[in-house]
């Protein structure tokens, strides 16, 4: 029996929320270990749509859910998300949700700084296309050792000095960027006004997880974003500000690396990306429009249209390596139903040479040209299939070809947004 880490193997939005929700039936605890409310995870249960950004997808089933120390936590966004879920019939209580006491907070000044930088960069054509949620600035302050953390909400005697320290840094930045300074009282009020709504959830999460692990509980780690958005392994600088890869599941929850068992890479049957940055197989044409329309490819958090393109086996093969992916959950195969032919990128050409990896440099990433293999499409439908035998032969061929190219097997196959339209090939918890 293994604990399972779910990670995105592309640029995010692979269907992690759906798969975590499905798997959470078999889990005892679900843990978010990085990112923040830049994530947008969609679950569809009997036609009812839940969109989660900060909370682990396990909350919808009422599973013990944990916000780990690797997350950056916006307390006001949490309160809003909990209220939204309550209106949908999902009650978040301190019995169900625990927030690690050592988690760094996202404050309004982080969100503002994110926006100031993106606005300034838009004018010079160098923006990242962030979600503007303050994720990058909050991680900067964490690493810069000046963050306000969740536990600080309980220590009103030491909080003012921490806020002063933070403001010394931020007000210097804001002056430099030509924006008004933030007052100490503003941030104190922002924190004090929300403290009572957060503190009941705050706990010594590493201890809870250690006890659970010793008791043989099944732990499901829910990644956000995707491997190509990882701060080290991704398409830097067009990435998010955290490690999104599987190794972070241990660090970001306060467990040892031995707690990571099976690594499940959530993989879309084609490729999408939101925001700026290289995208070798992007189809800025009717194929991209078809994929976007059929796949409803609009961002959950910002509503932005997602860029769409063919499946890129080079990227996913690399994701298999850097995460130690044991198997993938292949999602959205149904979006390809009815296409006459389907292209798959099997390698790149860079400056006249064939390569089988994504180079690390920004310039080279922008220059690589995809090399495609063209496969015949299928006439029947995979949408809503719940058994392998229901799949058209040509669709099975596509799946098998992908497995071969990326060097990992399909453990789960998803054929619609609905929770139960999922085919189990190998149970990651049993593998
Ligand atoms: P996440 O960020 O990885 O959790 O993914 P998102 O929720 O942002 O985006 C995935 C979208 O695809 C959501 O709208 C899901 O409801 C939907 N989805 C997930 N799996 C499938 C599938 O197999 N087929 C189809 N058609 N849609 C799916
Ligand atoms: P889920 O968990 C897709 C992208 C943003 C931008 C870059 C940096 O739903 O898969 P940030 O706000 O993190 O500083 O933005 O990362 N991005 C995502 N793209 N899915 C996500 O999350 C994303 N979270 C961030 O669009 O390009
Ligand atoms: Mg998403």
Domain limits of the chain? 4-101+201-262, 104-198, 268-430
Q: What is the spatial distance between Cα 250 and Cα 371, in angstroms, rounded to a whole number? A: 36
What digits encode the pLDDT tens for the residues 111-135? 999 999 999 998 887 899 999 999 9
Catalytic option among 21, 37, 41, 312 = 41
Give residue 301's pLDDT.
Answer: 85
Mean pLDDT to the nearest integer, 85-110 = 98
16 lines ligand 1 (CB under 6 A): yes
Nearest to 279 by CA among 238, 330, 335, 225: 238
Two structure tokens written together for 54: 């900060």
Paired tokens of 337:
């139903």
Token duo for residue 242: 């955290």
* Cα 134 to Cα 164: distance, rounded to the nearest angstrom: 19
CA–CA gap between residue 398 and residue 373 (Å, rounded): 11
pLDDT of 1 strictly over 70: no
Q: Give the residue, by CA position, lying nearest to ligand 1 atom 14.
A: 42
Does 101 sit in the ligand 1 pocket, CB within 6 Å? Answer: no
127 is catalytic: no
Q: In this predicted structure, what is the pLDDT of residue 302?
A: 85
Residue nearest to atom 2 of ligand 1 (CA): 13
The residue annotated as part of the active site, out of 63, 98, 110, 142, is 142
- Whole-number pLDDT of residue 300: 85
Find the mean pLDDT for residues 38-67. Answer: 97
Give the CATH fold of the 268-430 domain: Adenylosuccinate Synthetase; Chain A, domain 3 (3.90.170)
CATH architecture of 4-101+201-262: 3-Layer(aba) Sandwich (3.40)
302 in a labelled binding site:
yes
Domain 104-198 superfamily per CATH:
Adenylosuccinate Synthetase, subunit A, domain 2 (1.10.300.10)
Which phi and psi angles does 245 have, rounded to 5°? Answer: -80, 165
| Average pLDDT of span 315-330 | 98
Q: Taking all residues of the chain, what is their mean pLDDT, rounded to a whole number?
A: 97
Rounded to the nearest angstrom, the distance between the alpha carbon of 133 and the centre of ligand 3 is 14
Predicted model pTM = 0.98
Residue 124: per-residue pLDDT: 81
Q: How far is 194 from 192, CA to CA, in rounded Å?
A: 5
Residue whose structure tokens are 């010793």: 214
Residue 114: active-site member: no
Q: Is 303 exposed, middle or buried (0-12, 13-18, 19+ CB in 10 A)?
A: exposed
Among residues 13, 21, 141, 421, the one annotated as catalytic is 13
Helices 313-323/393-406 angle, 10° precision: 50
What Cα–Cα distance (Å) separates residue 58 from each residue in 52, 79, 101, 261, 346?
10, 17, 20, 19, 36
Residue 41 appears among annotated catalytic residues: yes
**Would you report the helix, strand and coil content of the chain in percent, each value rounded to 5?**
40, 20, 40
| pLDDT tens-place string over residues 163-178 | 999 999 999 999 999 9
76 appears as a binding residue in the annotation: no
Average pLDDT over residues 7-11: 98
Q: What is the mean pLDDT of residues 230-253?
A: 98
Distance CA 47, CA 41 (A): 16
What integer is the mean pLDDT of 207-236?
98
How confident is the model at residue 299, as a pLDDT? Answer: 87
Of 72, 100, 109, 84, nearest to 189 by C-alpha is 109
For ligand 2, which residues put their CB under 6 angstroms from it?
Answer: 8, 11-13, 38-41, 128-131, 133, 135-136, 224-226, 229, 240-241, 274-275, 300
CA 47 to ligand 1 center in whole angstroms: 14
Rounded to an integer, what distance in angstroms lies between the CA atom of residue 283 and that of residue 291?
Answer: 9
């Amino acid at each position: 029996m293994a604990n399972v880490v779910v990670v995105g193997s592309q640029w995010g939005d692979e269907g992690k929320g759906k798969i975590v929700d499905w798997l959470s039936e078999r889990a005892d605890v679900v843990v978010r270990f990085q990112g923040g409310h830049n994530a947008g995870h969609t679950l569809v249960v009997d036609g009812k749509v839940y969109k989660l950004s900060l909370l682990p997808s396990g909350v919808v089933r009422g599973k013990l859910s944990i916000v780990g120390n690797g997350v950056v936590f916006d307390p006001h966004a949490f309160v809003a998300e909990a209220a939204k879920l309550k209106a949908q019939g999902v009650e978040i209580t301190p019995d169900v949700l625990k927030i690690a006491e050592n988690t760094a907070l996202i404050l309004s000044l982080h969100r503002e700084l994110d926006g100031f930088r993106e606005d300034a960069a838009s004018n010079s054509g160098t923006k990242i296309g962030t979600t503007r949620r303050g994720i990058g600035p909050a991680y900067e302050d964490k690493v810069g050792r000046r963050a306000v953390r969740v536990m600080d909400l309980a220590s009103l005697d030491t909080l003012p000095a921490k806020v002063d320290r933070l403001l010394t840094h931020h007000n210097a930045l804001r002056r430099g960027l030509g924006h008004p300074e933030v007052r100490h009282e503003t941030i104190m009020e922002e924190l004090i006004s929300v403290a009572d709504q957060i503190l009941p959830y705050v706990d010594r999460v590493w201890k809870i997880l250690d006890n659970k692990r010793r008791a043989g509980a099944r732990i499901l780690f829910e990644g956000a974003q995707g491997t190509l958005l990882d701060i080290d392994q991704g398409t830097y600088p067009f990435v998010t500000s955290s490690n999104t890869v599987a190794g972070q599941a241990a660090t970001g929850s306060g467990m040892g690396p031995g707690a990571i068992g099976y690594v499940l890479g959530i993989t879309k049957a084609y490729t999408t990306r939101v925001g700026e940055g290289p995208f070798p197989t992007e189809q800025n044409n009717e194929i991209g429009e078809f994929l976007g329309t059929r796949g409803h490819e609009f961002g959950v958090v910002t509503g932005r249209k997602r860029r769409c393109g063919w499946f890129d086996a080079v990227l996913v093969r690399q994701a298999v390596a850097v995460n130690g992916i044991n198997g993938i959950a292949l999602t959205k195969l149904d979006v390809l139903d009815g296409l006459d032919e389907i292209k798959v990128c099997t390698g790149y050409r860079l400056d006249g040479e064939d390569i089988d990896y994504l180079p690390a440099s920004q310039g080279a990433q922008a220059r690589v040209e995809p090399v495609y293999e063209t496969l015949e499409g299928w006439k029947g439908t995979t949408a809503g299939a719940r058994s392998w035998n229901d799949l058209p032969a040509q669709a099975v061929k596509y799946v098998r070809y992908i497995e071969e190219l990326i060097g990992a097997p399909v453990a789960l196959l998803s054929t619609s947004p609905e929770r139960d339209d999922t085919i189990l090939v190998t149970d990651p918890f049993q593998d």
